[in-house]
Structure formats: structure tokens, C-alpha cells
Structure 1
Amino acid sequence: MEKKNWSVLEPDLKLFSKEQILGSALALAQEEQLPVAVWRKPNKTEINLLISFSEALQVDRYELQELKNGFAFAPFNFNQEKGFFINGDVLLSFDFDEVVIKPVNEASANTLQVDSFKKKLIDRIESDEESPLFNQSKNLAKPKSSDYETLVEKCVEAIRDGFFEKVVPARSTDIDLPAGFDLIKLYSNLCAAYPNAFISFVSIPELGSWLGATPEILIEKEFNTFRTHALAATQRFNPENDLSETAWTQKEIEEQAMVSRYIINCFKKIRLREYVEKGPETIKAGNLLHLKTSFEVDVVATNFPELPTVMLELLHPTSAVAGMPKEQALSFLKLEEQLDRSFYAGFLGPVNIEEQTSLYVNLRCMELAKDKARLFAGAGVTAHSNPKKEFAETEMKFNTLLNILNQAH
């Protein structure tokens, strides 16, 4: 859809800040129990807010080439649990001083609903009423206790016994949200702090609310071009060092090469030979550095329009969040990890909006519940892993959100 079809909000709304409009839209969605997704893509300034006037759809498969415009939100165990899809009924886009609101699926003739929403939004902003912006009734289930360093030791032992080459155990930590927790301020600060990340907030009434700042794209389709990336290895960013001179250990280089090999093996499975590979290169994601290799395919030249759907099923969960070989690593994690990952290390993102689909691995994320939040992080374990270092890596990843949370109150 071309931008000329977008209807710009009435001029009087220019009197209000982006934060006021965002907050009022989220409060309205929460009050009316509507699914909502907010996102900002890496290296972009535009923030998008999408609302559905009906319940989120539960899906067993994302047929990306057939889905309407909307937002996908899938759990880690997507092959055993349902994924969710928020149909896009209205989209607000914020970029600099312009705010745009439009029906997402113009053919669905929901203009009256959009006009009604617009009126309610204006009334809500003018009333300056304080309301919850996310589900306040949900409580976090009590986590099972486990010793992460002991778990890493078990992982290394299993690798040395030949069960798999790599595994990615995860852990969670619960925190109290600060008094006067300001979701909009935190979201805005995350956008400012992590320009290279996908910054998201998803709230679905029956599921709860999740906030994240992930560096990892799973798959992307822009017009006729399909992309995916192999992202692995982690170290702290040092502003005094040039990125091009970053030194990586043998363990980190091997870890990233495994992820690249996994993608290439997926291409081989579907007999796809025409792809462009670039990397590995060092990239910065917030306060961390990673190694990344990019892959690109022309879906028209290869006559493979369903490639994004096929690759999504082959890739998720990637070896960067599960391990290699995948099935053996997943069986081990199910037995030993003792963690309900829920939507952590699942995937999320906008689908078929302006001829683009961008699905990201849900990393550096937290589940919000009333006055608490649960953060998740994992670390890639290979035969050369040190349990204390892997524990420290998960702490660094928690800090992606914690450092900004501590500034937002």
C-alpha cells in the first residue's frame, strides 16, 4: 500500500506528544481487551502500533504468503503449542512529528471502526486519564529452581560424550518493577539506547504482555528479496576498540560457524543453490558484540514464493537458541533445563505490512505482570565452555533491559 492512501490524524493531535498518543492507544486497547503490538525496526526511527478489533488468531502454521497484514507472536515450542496472529485493523505510525493512522487492510471495509477508534483515542488523550497500559491481573507462575552453572556442566559433559555439538541452556530471573514504572518511557529509552535492535511490546489479553529488544532477525522478506542471518558468539562492547579489530576465541568462531552451516544445510534440504552469503562480520547490539553472517535469496528468480514459510519452519528454533543437532539438543533441554521458556526464544514481528515481513527471535525480553517482570537469557555451550563465563554471559544479556529499566524511573 502506498503512503498516499494513509489518512493523517487531524491537525489538532499535533498538539500532543508521541508519548501521550502511544500511552492513550495502549490504555484504550487494554481497557477494551484488544490485542496490540508496538515495534521499531533496527536502524529506523518510525514506531508502529497495530491493534486488532478481534481476538488474536491461534495458528499451527504461518502461511506467510497468504496471511493478511498483521503481527505474528509465537512461543519457543511452536511445534507443540499454538502461535498467535494479531490481525491488523488499525496501524498508527510515529515518525518524527508526523502521526499517521489508517486501516491496515483497506479491503476489509472497517473504516467505521477506525473512525470510532480515532474518536475514542482523541477523547482519551484530552481526558488525561491515568489507566494501566498492560495486563494488571496476571501473576507470574512460580519458576522451578535450578543451578545454571551445574546445568552448563551437564551440557559440556553431554557434548564430550557425543550427544550433540552445541546446546543453548536458558535461565530466568524475576524482578520487582520500580514504583511508578513507566512503560512508555522505558520503551522510548530502549529505542534510544539500542538503535540496532528490534524493540517490541506485545500484549494479548489471554497471554499477557512482553517487552523486548532483540538483535536477531529470523527471516525477512522485502518485496522479492528473502533474507536470514546466522548470529552467535557474544562479548561485551568496548567503545575504545574498533569493531573491525575485535578478537574472537576459537570457541566463539566455531559457535557462529555452526549456525551458518545450519542455514546452508536448510538450503540444501530444499535444493536451493542460488543464494548470496556475506560474512561473518562483527556487529554491535546495544552493549554487546556478536558475529553475523547474512544470506539473501531472490524469490522471483528462484521461482520460490513460499520460501519464507518453508524457511521459517526449517529454522525455528535456530541452533542459536536450541543447539546442534537440533532434535538431540531440544530433547536434552526438555529433560534438564527445568524452565518454561514460554515466548522467550520464540519469534515475533510484522507480517505483510507494506510488502514487508520481518520476524525476529524473541531475545533480550521480559514478561510483564502487575508489579513484577521475568527476564530470560541463554548462552551457547560447546565442548570448550566455562560454566562461570556462561553464567556471566546471561547476566550481561539481562542487563540489556535492566540497565535501561533502572534509568526509566
Structure 2
Amino acid sequence: MVTLYQNKVIDQLRNAFTKKKHMVGVTVKMEQIDPLAFFAAGETLFCGQRFYWSDYSHERTFVGLGHAHVIKSEEKTKERFREVESAWRQMVEDAFIEGKGPLMFGGFAFDPLKRSAEHWNDFPPAQFVVPTFLLTKQRDETWLTVNVVHESLDQLEEMIDSLFTIHDDIEWHRAYVVEKEEVARDRWMHAVHHATDLIQSGMIEKVVLARELFLSFSERIDRSHVLRSLHEQQPRSYIFAFESGSACFIGASPEQLVKKDGKICETACLAGSIRRGHTIKEDEELGQRLLADDKNRREHAFVVDMIEQAMNEVCTEVVVPSEPTLLKMRHIQHLYTPVHGRVKEGISIFSLVERLHPTPALGGFPKEKAVQTIREIEPLDRGWYAAPIGWVDADGNGEFAVAIRSALLDTNEAHLFAGCGIVAHSDPRSEYEETNVKFKAMLLALEGEQR
């Protein structure tokens, strides 16, 4: 069966090469294949050049292996969004597309003006890749897209043969934690105190402060195993991984930033949270407490108001429910309000990302003052944490999530990140406990049975 796909792809590529384009891409429909197994099969040939994406409904999954084309921006202003969009449009114009066409995946840094920590060196202000091999699984259908710039057909045949020699009995290697450190915990608690002073003095209304947890493991962390664990434990989340150099940014985010499909776009307001209960009764009581809590409702309202305003600027119509509902995850439940709109002519998904990032749920309010405050008092470099990560296709459709509940992995080390919204009467100890709840998703995926 592999030979059948291989021959079909090679034949189509031979024909595509006659078009004399900078890039050629062909797509063939395949039988079902496990995307996680495909990601794992690419480790030998493409370690450091893989990505994985599954939307929150898990109806659409992408796995990318290899780099046919890379778009980077070192621009430290909003121009990075436009620079990436311009480069993408140019690449699509210079490509010969047969079938579904190319797709690129990547992300942006939360704040490129923040001094960069060494562990984020391989993650610039913006980076997107067009994979050599793209596996697309949408509901019950699977496609393989091959994008080529300067590869020889002989090399491609060998790669395809290697990729589809997939074994179901893959042996997962469990790494064990040998060191755990709460990075700059006291500085973070002090920053929360400082933030409440700024808010009470009227200098800002809300700011989100994140902190870091560092883990060291007994051996190299198996990224495929972490992805599989996240799938099992976080069924209503965006599951993502993006490798760059030796590092891999990975997570299970419950928060959509924006999705665009033709003229229709959607986003979500996710702010205000409380833990899950140990019993059904306790869980319902905690949910009702969250719905009635003034601090969390005000925090949620900041996000709804900002997103509605931003959407009204670029949409002909915007639909916003009058009251939030509860979004329940494994360890935590959130206040949740979906927002839908019809975009105006000429508005791209990159325009939407630029306008929405960061929402008050990840930055604060007012936006610019909040980001400046984070830059000055938060004791870590967020890198790509809490920033937009996602995909865009040749037609300008795509989807981005907010990269929370995430970690940066490198060999046997992991940097985990979690934050919470600070308002006038926030209690540092309570906010600290909230971050502990938010760490649980990645801790459970990394530590497994130890927890």
C-alpha cells in the first residue's frame, strides 16, 4: 500500500516540476493513519522539524514533518504580523498547488520587546513553516501533502518509505523527574502585590502575571508520549507541538484566539476560573460560585468588552451572548463566552490575530499599559507562552489558539508556565494556588503515574 501512495505522489510531483515554480505541492488521499504515530515516525529523519496540531473538537489534525519553506520575522513591533502575511502571500503566488495546497504552521512571541531568556533562543518573534510532508486528518478522511522546493525524487521515495514503516507497538520511554524548581516564586508574589498597588492607584485596571516551573528529568522527554497523554487527559483542548532546533513548545490549550473560514470568524472569551470539585455536587457548587463571583465576572467582562470592540472594528456583524457559561476542563473550570462575526472585505486572519493579541485574559487592560507592566515586573520571559499559535492555508483561512497550559521541552528539561489575572483586591496566595491548578495539565502529561 505504501508503494501505491509513493508512486502516486512521485508521478504527480514529476508533472508538477514541469511548471517551473519555486515550490510544488501535491496531495493524495490515504487510508486512515494515526497522526500521533506519524509524528513519532518522523523523529529519526525530522527531529527538530516537526509540528502537531489538533483542534479542540479533534475533528481536524495536522502533522508536519520537515521544512520545505520557513518564514521568520525578527521584527519587534506589530510589523511582524504583516511581514509574515506578506511573505506567505508571495510564497503562495510562486507555488504550483495541486489538491489541497500548502499550509503553514507556527506562532508569535508574546512580547518581542521583553529581553529573551536563553531557552527561547530558537523561537524568534515570529516563525512559520511549510512542511515537506503534511498529514491532514479531518473527521474520517486522511490526506498526505508533499511540498518540495529543491528535493530530489530519489530522496523523497526513501523518505516516504521510511515514514510509512510505522509500528503500532512503539515502546514509550518514561522519564522521571529528578529536580523541580519554582522559578523566582518570591519575586512573583511581590509582583502580584505591586500590581494590586498599581491597580488601586488607578494606573491600570487589570494585569495578568505568569510564573515558571522548571523540571529536570532522568532521560530525554518523549515528545510523542507527552502528546498522547495530553490527548487522553485534555479532550476539549487544542493539542499542539512545535519543534525548533533542539527545543519543542508543547501544550493543551482550552482557549481559541480566532478562527477564520471565508467571511465567518469566531473567537472566545475565557477568563475567570475555579478548580473542579471532587464530587458532582461540589463541582456544581464551585461552578455556581464562579458564575456569581464579582472578581471573576469583572475579569471576564474586561475580555468580552475588548474582544467585542475589536471584532466590531473589522466585522459587519458581531454576535455576543449576554451571559457567560462554564467551560469545564479536567482540573479547572472557566467562565466562557463565544463570539461570532462576519469579517469585512480584505480582513485577513493575520489582521485578526494582530488586533486580538493579547486579549485581557492573557495581558490585561488597557492593553498597552498591561503589556508594559508585564514587561517591567513579571519575573520571566514568556517567549511563545500565552501567544498566538496556529495555521493558515493558501486561501487565507486558518485558526489560532492562545498557547497556554504549555511547556518548553529541551532534551531532559522542561519549563512550564501558568498565569492569572490580577485585579484590585487580588490575594497573592490565592493567585499562587490558581497557577498551581493551571500547571496540572502539563505536569500530569509529563510526570504521568508519579502524580
Compute the TM-score of the two structures, normalised by the length of structure 2: 0.75
Show the 5 A alignment for 1:1-400: 6-8=28-30, 20-30=37-47, 35-44=49-58, 47-54=61-68, 56-59=70-73, 60-61=80-81, 62-63=84-85, 66=89, 69-78=103-112, 82-93=125-136, 100-103=143-146, 112=153, 115-122=157-164, 125=166, 146-179=186-219, 181-205=221-245, 208-238=247-277, 240=280, 241-242=283-284, 246-248=288-290, 249-268=293-312, 270=313, 272=315, 274-278=317-321, 279-299=323-343, 303-352=344-393, 356-400=397-441
8 A contact 1:218–1:360 mirrored in 2: yes
Conservation of the 8 A alpha-carbon contact between 2:53 and 2:240: yes
1:42-100 per-position Cα deviation (integer Å, ceiling 9, x unaligned)? 12255421124346310322429946521022111157863001113321245799764
Instruction: State the match for 1:137 in structure 2.
Output: none
Structure 1 unmatched runs, 5+: 133-141
- 8 Å Cα contact 2:316-2:341 kept in structure 1: no
What is the CA distance between 1:327 and its match in structure 2? Answer: 1.3
CA distance in 1, matches of 2:331, 2:221: 23
CA distance in 2, matches of 1:271, 1:121: 43
Q: Give, in whole Å, the separation in 2 of the partners of 1:377 and 1:360.
A: 16
Indicate how the Cα distance of structure 1 residues 257 and 22 shifts in structure 2: closer, same or farther if over 3 A, else same.
same
Q: Describe the SS at the equivalent of 2:355.
A: helix
> Following the alignment from structure 1 to structure 2, what is the Cα–Cα distance between the partners of residues 275 and 96?
29
Whether the 8 Å contact between 1:49 and 1:91 is mirrored in structure 2 is yes
Partners of 1:228 and 1:78 lie apart in 2 by 24
Equivalent pair of 2:247/2:411 in contact (CA under 8 Å): no
Matched residue SS, 1:274 = strand
The alpha-carbon distance between structure 1 residues 55 and 5, as it changes in their structure 2 partners (threshold 3 A), is closer
Cα deviation code 1:202-249 (max 9, x no counterpart): 1022x7211101111111012331111111011112251349963221
1:170-190 residue CA offsets vs partner (Å, 9 max, x unmatched): 110101235474322221121
Q: Secondary structure at the match of 2:265?
A: strand
Q: Comparing 20-29 with 235-244, which one deviates more in the overlay?
A: 235-244
Q: Secondary structure at the match of 2:324?
A: strand
C-alpha separation in 1, matches of 2:44 and 2:285: 42
Any idea what the Cα deviations from partners look like across 1:279-327, whole Å, max 9, x if unmatched? 421111332111111211123xxx4241533221111122111110111
Q: What is the distance in 2 between the residues matched to 1:181 and 1:196?
A: 24
Instruction: Give the counterpart letter for 1:168 in structure 2.
Output: V
Contact in 2 for aligned 1:169/1:379 (Cα 8 Å): yes
Q: How far apart, in 1, do the equivalents of 2:367 and 2:444 lie?
A: 33
| Structure 1 residue 355, shift from structure 2 partner | 7.1
For 2:144 and 2:352, the matched residues in 1 are separated by 33
> Which has the larger displacement, 49-58 or 236-245?
236-245
Count matched residues: 380
Could you tell me how far 1:353 is from its partner in structure 2? 7.3
How far, CA to CA, are the matches of 1:348 and 1:181 in structure 2? 22
> 1:335, CA displacement in angstroms?
1.4
Q: Which amino acid aligns with 2:363?
A: A
CA distance in 2, matches of 1:305, 1:63: 13
Instruction: Tell me which residue corresponds to 1:406.
Output: 447
In 2: Cα distance, 1:323 partner to 1:18 partner: 36
Counterpart amino acid of residue 6 in structure 1: V
Q: Distance in 1 between matches of 2:57 and 2:206?
A: 31
Which has the larger displacement, 308-317 or 44-53?
44-53
Structure 2 counterpart SS, 1:175: strand
Amino acid at match of 1:316: H
Shift of the 378–117 alpha-carbon distance from structure 1 to 2, 3 Å rule, reads same
- The answer as to whether partners of 2:132 and 2:146 remain within 8 angstroms in 1 is yes
Q: Is the 8 A contact 1:27 1:131 kept in 2?
A: no
Query: How much does 1:395 deviate?
Result: 0.7
Kindly indicate whether the alpha-carbon contact (under 8 Å) linking 1:344 and 1:365 is maintained by their aligned counterparts in 2: yes
Q: C-alpha displacement at 1:27, in angstroms? A: 2.9
**Residues 347 and 362, structure 1, Cα contact 8 Å, conserved in 2:** yes
Distance 1:7 1:29, change over 3 A: same
CA distance in 1, matches of 2:342, 2:141: 34
- Partner in structure 1 of residue 18 of structure 2: none
Q: Structure 2, unaligned stretches of length 5 or more? A: 1-25, 74-79, 93-101, 115-123, 174-181
CA deviation after TM superposition for structure 1 residue 360, in Å: 0.6
